[in-house]
Amino acid sequence: MKPDAPTLVDMTTHDIDLAVRATGLVKQFGDQRAVDHIDLEVRRGEVFGVLGPNGAGKTTMLRMLATLLHIDAGQALVFGHDVRAEPHAVRRLLGVTGQYASVDENLTATENLWLFARLQGLGRAEARARGAELLEQFDLAEAASKPISAFSGGMRRRLDLAASLLTRPPLIFLDEPTTGLDPRTRGQMWDTIRDLVRTGCTVLLTTQYLDEADQLADRIAVIDRGVKVAEGTADELKSSVGQSTLQIQVADPADLPLVAEEVRRLLGEDVVLTPEARRVNVPLARTDQSVDVLVALRDRDVAIESVTVQKPSLDEVFLALTGHDTQDPSHDDVTTTDPTDQTDLQMEAAR
């Protein structure tokens, strides 16, 4: 059962304010519909996140908008230019960085940027200067004349992004920009994307991670099996599945009723008790409320064994929006193997 998608489309928005306007996009691969009547409006200057699990149709949709895949039905406009009718004009407005680095393995970083700059009509001197400038900005100057095969994953992504920015395109597509990166490199990539937006760029990014969409995107569309199931800000999406959860494990199960009482007094909320695991789950409107609860429990001399605060995960958002989890798009049922997880999921879904 799919709840109606909460849409935030402002009907008074004019085309000129839109970087991307897609209506009824369809892509059919054999008898499988990879993209099924998706509407999308990306406003100029915003970061728009497309969130979904593997195989949801995110990349397919992005490739259609980027003139890389034929649009089977529907219409897509990029700054008012029809993607199907004017692919060349659309390509001039776009920078695309794919899931896998699309740079030339046989060339050095400098040579790669020079190649792509020259192909886009920059003069020799300009191409050289712009390449050097970008290598400096992306912290690649030291590796400028090394072969790409010696680059780390993060360096490749950065070079790839630099190659997309040579002509300062007003619209950037980022296909899962941090998938496979370590947390530190991921944070650096996020900073880079934020800086990009500061220069006036519009960014359309796909991601599997709710926290990435949360960190970067002004608005998010959730896509599942080729269908848009929800759209809104990160806060709107998260409130549709509930806020953070404080999970407390007490030393003595006899304390559990006391915990429940304190929480009701402090937050006015009913808790979910799991006596066999000596555990309570406390729904929090704000994460800092966890401190009030813990302080109160210490005052009542409740011995606590462990404490965790969990934010809703993509899995939970997904479960709430689509009725199935992210890992198994072929089933509508919840198939969670870990019984404790299932308790959490059911609790989130119940709200």
Q: Which residues contact other proteins (rule: CB under 8 A)?
A: 16, 19, 44, 66-68, 79-81, 86, 88-89, 91-94, 96, 98, 100-107, 111, 115-116, 118-121, 137-139, 154, 158, 163, 167-171, 184, 188-189, 191-192, 195-196, 198-201
Q: What whole-number distance in Å separates Cα of residue 75 and Cα of residue 60?
A: 15
Closer CB to other proteins, residue 5 or residue 132? 132
How far apart are CB 45 and other proteins at their closest, in Å?
10
User: Are residues 58 and 224 in contact, defined by beta-carbon separation less than 8 angstroms?
Assistant: no
For the chain, list the strands marked E by DSSP: 18-29, 32-43, 47-51, 73-78, 81-82, 94-97, 171-175, 202-207, 219-224, 227-232, 245-250, 272-274, 279-283, 304-310
How far apart are CB 63 and other proteins at their closest, in Å?
9
How far apart are CB 55 and other proteins at their closest, in Å?
19
Phi-psi sector, 67: left (phi>0), alpha (psi -120 to 50), beta: left
User: Are residues 81 and 15 in contact, defined by beta-carbon separation less than 8 angstroms?
Assistant: no
Closer CB to other proteins, residue 44 or residue 128? 44
Q: What whole-number distance in Å separates Cα of residue 44 and Cα of residue 207?
A: 20
Q: How many CB atoms lie within 10 A of CB 18?
A: 19
Q: In angstroms, what CA-CA distances link 323 with 37, 56, 319, 331?
A: 20, 15, 5, 9
Closer CB to other proteins, residue 91 or residue 324? 91
How far apart are CB 206 and other proteins at their closest, in Å?
15
How far apart are CB 309 and other proteins at their closest, in Å?
28
How far apart are CB 23 and other proteins at their closest, in Å?
19
Closer CB to other proteins, residue 200 or residue 257? 200
Closer CB to other proteins, residue 10 or residue 105? 105
Closer CB to other proteins, residue 67 or residue 274? 67
How far apart are CB 150 and other proteins at their closest, in Å?
13
C-alpha angle 286-287-290 in degrees, rounded to nearest 5: 110
How far apart are CB 204 and other proteins at their closest, in Å?
14
How far apart are CB 135 and other proteins at their closest, in Å?
12
What DSSP assignment string belongs to 173-198?
EEESTTTT--HHHHHHHHHHHHHHHH
How far apart are CB 78 and other proteins at their closest, in Å?
8
Burial class (CB in 10 A: 0-12, 13-18, 19+), 291: exposed
User: Are residues 261 and 252 in contact, defined by beta-carbon separation less than 8 angstroms?
Assistant: no
Closer CB to other proteins, residue 69 or residue 258? 69
Q: Edge to edge, what strands does the sheet with 245-250 contain? A: 272-274, 279-283, 245-250, 304-310
Per-residue DSSP letter, 269: -
Closer CB to other proteins, residue 29 or residue 300? 29
Closer CB to other proteins, residue 43 or residue 311? 43
Q: What whole-number distance in Å separates Cα of residue 84 and Cα of residue 98?
A: 20
User: Are residues 263 and 257 in contact, defined by beta-carbon separation less than 8 angstroms?
Assistant: no
Closer CB to other proteins, residue 176 or residue 255? 176
